[in-house]
């Protein structure tokens, strides 16, 4: 990424081709979803997963926000598909920010995604313990 | 260094700058190695006088475009400098008569920031708000005028919305009150017919790169009439009637002159062309739900179309329509991410302003460019809406 291009190649690629954008296929029955943010505040994201026996079969997202948010949601869905539901609790926002060269003034978008993942983890595990 | 983006650009951002006309580029290039053009135009030797002749020839070309005397035009580095010189120079010149000034919050930052600087010099500024369509009421100007008012500055065509103000009527109002009237005409000179011999305008700013001339050169028109003067804001030489010192960039000035002559010759054709392109683009996108035009349709410059659309975020929209080059609702703050203060002054919400896109056309814009822009815009909006949480 040049100093003049606000988006690195990973962001551009995931923004242009968000393979995980949309809704879960209807065939899945054990599904959970969670949402964080508000459009009025510039960012909103919904995460959805389908699981079986504690393993994530599929993840999808819907997002309203900047390219970094959309790319981050895509990255997260790609990363956790096939992993255990428990792995959601080990999300590391800083690694994602580094991968996507998220500018510091947009770090709130990634923290919003972290909120959504935390809520999704709770929904998927029935964990009602406050963070 | 990043690899170059090899996609062919679709340029619909002519309000930001225009491509230099090939004839202009050729004239400028010829200057650089020409014994009769390269010298310092202030030098009294043979080479200097030859360069000075080129400068004056270009001044005549620009004067013909505006139907004024050449000697009433001062070369500057562009409209930003012309705005600063006109506003600051006129305010300070007439400060002993009064320190009240009038403008609008929707002016270009070169104007608003200059007025804010004058406020720090203890001038008092009245900021007249436009109606929701961007048009200023003449009654509001009349109501704002005070015995100590010395200057009104209202732009001819708004750079973001394309809204045209009635500068003839505003000028008449100012003349009645013996107030100087300045207009930033950066978006209109070279595109609209402007006859300054008939318009009651005292000070007018322009820049060549908006009408297919080079960047870095503009001019300030100063009417030759009693009480209409400016104090210089730069010091260090006697060039340009001591109002704008500094070595004149002959090649840029020659380019500006050529661009002015080309604009003069093609103005009617260009005006029709711009209107056709704007209407074509609007027709190409009007089927989108939640779409609104920003700015008056009745008082609209044909070269600019500013639209907002519901349900999409502005920054993502800008990236999604690449390689179409447009301006976002951040407009002149393109890199700041702030939503447009102009659109917010028209009553648009933050999200409406932030999702706004300004399309702007030039002499060399083709229907293929516009069709591509429209198609890309519709596709981007539909895609972003389809992945939004509220998508149906």
Domain ranges of chain A: 9-125
Burial B243-257 (b: 16+ CB within 10 A, else e): bbeeebbbbbbbbbb
**Does A103 reach chain B within 8 Å, measured CB to CB?**
no
Percent above pLDDT 90 for chain B: 88
Q: What is the DSSP letter of B392?
A: -
Q: What are phi and psi of B220, to 5 degrees?
A: -125, 125
- 3-class secondary structure for B144-178? HCCCCEEEEECCCECCCCCEECCHHHHHHHHHHCC
**Does A100 reach chain B within 8 Å, measured CB to CB?**
no
What CATH number has the domain bearing residue B205?
3.40.640.10
Residue B40 CA to residue B47 CA, distance in Å, equals: 8
Length of chain B equals 392
Active site annotation includes B332: yes
Is B142 in the same domain as B69?
A: yes
Cβ–Cβ < 8 Å for B179, B49: no
Is B365 in the same domain as B254?
A: no
Is B271 in the same domain as B235?
A: no
Q: Considering the candidates B31, B173, B228, B332, report the single residue annotated as catalytic.
A: B332
Percent above pLDDT 70 for chain B: 96
Predicted TM-score of the model (pTM): 0.93
User: Does residue B1 have a pLDDT over 50?
Assistant: no
Place of tokens 């000179």: B189
Is B194 in the same domain as B50?
A: yes
Cβ–Cβ < 8 Å for B58, B253: yes
Is B289 in the same domain as B368?
A: yes
Give the rounded distance of the alpha carbon of B223 from its chain centre: 20
Chain A: closest CA distance from residue B304 (Å)? 25
Is B138 in the same domain as B272?
A: no
Domain boundary among B262, B294, B310: B262
Least reliable range by pLDDT among A20-34, B54-68, B317-331: B317-331
Mean pLDDT to the nearest integer, B301-321: 94
Domain range for residue B348?
Answer: 10-19+267-386
Is B331 in the same domain as B220?
A: no
Confidence of residue B335 (pLDDT cuts 50, 70, 90): low
The two three-digit tokens of residue B296, written as one number: 């008056």
User: Does residue A129 have a pLDDT over 50?
Assistant: no
**Does A42 reach chain B within 8 Å, measured CB to CB?**
yes
DSSP SS3 for A37: strand
Taking only the tens place, the pLDDT of each residue in B102-152 is: 999 999 999 999 999 999 999 999 999 999 999 999 999 999 999 999 999
Domain boundary among B246, B262, B278: B262
**CA-CA distances (angstroms) from residue B131 to B182, B235, B279?**
21, 40, 24
Q: Is residue B392 part of a domain?
A: no
Confidence of residue A70 (pLDDT cuts 50, 70, 90): very high
* Chain B residues whose beta carbon lies within 8 Å of the beta carbon of residue A20: none
Judge if the upstream peptide bond of residue A45 is cis by omega within 30 degrees of 0. Answer: no
pLDDT attached to residue B36: 81
Task: Tell me which residue in A5, A40, A105 faces B351 most closely, judged by beta carbons.
Answer: A40
Question: What is the domain class of A9-125 according to CATH?
Answer: alpha beta
When divided into structural domains, chain B yields a total of: 2
Is B230 in the same domain as B131?
A: yes
Percent above pLDDT 70 for chain A: 94
Q: Is residue B391 part of a domain?
A: no
Residue B234 CA to residue B85 CA, distance in Å, equals: 9
Is B283 in the same domain as B366?
A: yes
Confidence of residue B182 (pLDDT cuts 50, 70, 90): very high
Is B199 in the same domain as B73?
A: yes
Q: Is residue B219 part of a domain?
A: yes
Is B370 in the same domain as B257?
A: no
Residue B381 CA to residue B346 CA, distance in Å, equals: 23
Q: Is residue B155 part of a domain?
A: yes
Q: Is residue B107 part of a domain?
A: yes
Residue B86 CA to residue B63 CA, distance in Å, equals: 18
Closest to B258 (Cα-Cα) out of B73, B72, B29: B29
User: Does residue A76 have a pLDDT over 60?
Assistant: yes
Residue B375 CA to residue B377 CA, distance in Å, equals: 5
**CA-CA distances (angstroms) from residue B17 to A105, B323, B329, B362, B365?**
29, 17, 17, 9, 13
Contact A15 B388 (CB under 8 A): no
* Chain B residues whose beta carbon lies within 8 Å of the beta carbon of residue A70: 316, 387
**Inter-chain contacts counted by CB atoms under 8 A, chains A and B:** 48
Q: Is residue B4 part of a domain?
A: no
Chain A: closest CA distance from residue B312 (Å)? 7
CA-nearest residue to A69 within chain B is: B316
ipTM above 0.85, yes or no: yes
What CATH number has the domain bearing residue B280?
3.90.1150.10
Residue B167 CA to residue B155 CA, distance in Å, equals: 8
Is B256 in the same domain as B294?
A: no
Closest to A111 (Cα-Cα) out of A76, A59, A61: A76
Domain boundary among B262, B281, B309: B262
Mean pLDDT to the nearest integer, A64-87: 96
What string of DSSP letters covers A60-119? Answer: EEEEES-HHHHHHHHHHHHHHTTSBGGGGGG--HHHHHHHTT--GGGHHHHHHHHHHHHH
User: Does residue A1 have a pLDDT over 70?
Assistant: no
User: Does residue A126 have a pLDDT over 90?
Assistant: no
């Amino acid at each position: 990424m040049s100093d003049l291009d606000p988006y690195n190649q990973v962001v551009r690629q995931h923004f242009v081709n968000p393979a995980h954008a949309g809704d879960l296929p209807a065939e899945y029955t054990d599904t959970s979803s969670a949402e964080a943010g508000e459009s009025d505040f510039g960012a909103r994201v919904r995460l959805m997963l389908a699981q079986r026996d504690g393993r994530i079969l599929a993840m999808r997202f819907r997002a309203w926000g900047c390219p970094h948010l959309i790319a981050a949601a895509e990255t997260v869905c790609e990363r956790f598909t096939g992993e255990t539901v428990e792995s959601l609790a080990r999300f590391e926002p800083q690694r994602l920010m580094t991968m996507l060269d998220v500018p510091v003034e947009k770090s709130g978008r990634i923290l919003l995604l972290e909120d959504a993942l935390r809520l999704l983890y709770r929904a998927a595990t029935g964990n009602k313990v406050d963070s | 260094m990043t690899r170059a983006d090899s996609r062919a650009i679709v340029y619909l951002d002519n309000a930001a700058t225009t491509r230099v006309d090939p004839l202009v580029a050729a004239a400028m290039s010829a200057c650089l190695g020409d014994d009769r053009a390269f010298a310092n135009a202030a030098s009294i030797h043979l080479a200097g006088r030859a360069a000075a002749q080129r400068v004056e020839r270009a001044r005549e070309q620009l004067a013909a475009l505006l139907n004024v005397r050449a000697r009433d035009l001062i070369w500057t580095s562009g409209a930003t400098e012309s705005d600063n010189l006109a506003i600051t120079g006129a305010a300070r010149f007439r400060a002993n008569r009064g320190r009240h000034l009038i403008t609008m919050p929707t002016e270009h930052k070169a104007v608003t920031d200059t007025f804010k600087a004058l406020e720090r010099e203890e001038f008092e500024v009245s900021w007249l708000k436009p109606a929701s369509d961007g048009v200023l009421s003449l009654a509001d100007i009349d109501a704002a005028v005070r015995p100590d008012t010395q200057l009104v500055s209202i732009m001819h065509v708004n750079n973001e919305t394309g809204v045209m103000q009635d500068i003839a009527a505003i000028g008449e109002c100012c003349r009645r009150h013996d107030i100087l009237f300045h207009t930033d005409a950066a978006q209109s000179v070279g595109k609209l017919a402007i006859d300054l011999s008939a318009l009651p305008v005292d000070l007018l700013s322009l820049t060549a790169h908006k009408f297919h001339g080079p960047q870095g050169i503009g001019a300030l028109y100063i009417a030759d009439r009693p009480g209409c003067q400016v104090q210089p804001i730069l010091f260090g030489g006697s060039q340009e009637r001591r109002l704008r010192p500094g070595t004149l960039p002959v090649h840029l000035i020659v380019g500006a002159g050529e661009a002015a002559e080309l604009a003069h010759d093609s103005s009617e054709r260009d005006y029709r062309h711009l209107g056709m392109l704007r209407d074509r683009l609007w027709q190409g996108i009007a089927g989108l739900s939640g779409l609104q035009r920003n700015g008056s349709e009745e008082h609209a410059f044909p070269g600019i179309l500013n639209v907002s659309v519901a349900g999409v975020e502005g920054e993502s929209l800008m990236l999604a329509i690449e390689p179409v080059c447009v301006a976002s609702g951040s407009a002149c703050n393109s890199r700041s991410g702030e939503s447009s203060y102009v659109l917010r002054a028209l009553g648009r919400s933050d999200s409406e302003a932030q999702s706004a896109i300004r399309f702007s056309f030039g002499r060399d814009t083709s229907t293929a460019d516009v069709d591509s822009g429209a198609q890309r815009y519709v596709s981007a909006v539909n895609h972003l809406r389809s992945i939004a949480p509220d998508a149906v």
